[in-house]
Amino acid sequence: MDYYEMFVDLRNNRNNMEKLTQQEEEAMQAVWQCKSGTVKDFLEALTEPTPYTTLASTIKNLERKGFLKSEKVGNTYRYVPAIKEEEYKKRFMNGFVSDYFQNSYKDLVTFFANEKKISANDLKEIIKLIENPKK
C-alpha cells in the first residue's frame, strides 16, 4: 500500500467512526480525564466499580477500534487517546442528529421543547450564542 492509499484509508476510517458502547464511552471518559495512563489509572478514575479484567478488555477493544494508542512501558502498557473528546462529541452528535432528526437541529430542539427538557431561558441563551458566537 502506498502513502496515498494509506491516507485515504485513514481518512475513511475517521469519517466512519464506530459508535462506542456505554461501557466503552465510560472508559474513554476516564482516559480523557487522565490524559494518559495505565488500566489501573483509568480504573481509579471510573465512577462505578469495575473489575480490572473488564476494563482491560474494554481498553484493548478501544485500541483495536482506533480510539487509543498504546506504548509498552516496562511490563505494562500506557494508553493515550487517539481522538480528542471534543472531536468524538462532535461526530457523535452529528451522527445522532442525522440518524434521529433527519439532520435537523431545529427538530432536535423542538423535540426537547415538546418533552419539556429545555426551558425558555435555555432557548434564550442558545439564541444569544447563535447571534454572538465566541471566536
Here the cell at position 111 is 423535540
Q: How far is it, in rounded angstroms, from Cα 52 to Cα 54?
A: 5
Comparing C-alpha atoms, which of 74, 81, 66 is closest to residue 28? 81
| Residue that has been written with the C-alpha cell 479484567 in this structure | 53
**DSSP letter at 51?**
-
**The model's pTM:** 0.70
Gyration radius (Cα) of the chain, Å: 19
| Residue that has been written with the C-alpha cell 426551558 in this structure | 119
In tens, the pLDDT along 67-98 reads 999 999 999 999 999 999 999 988 888 888 88
Domains of the chain with CATH codes: 18-81 (1.10.10.10), 85-131 (no CATH)
> Is residue 50 classed as helix, strand or coil in its secondary structure?
coil
Question: What mean pLDDT do residues 94-112 have?
Answer: 88
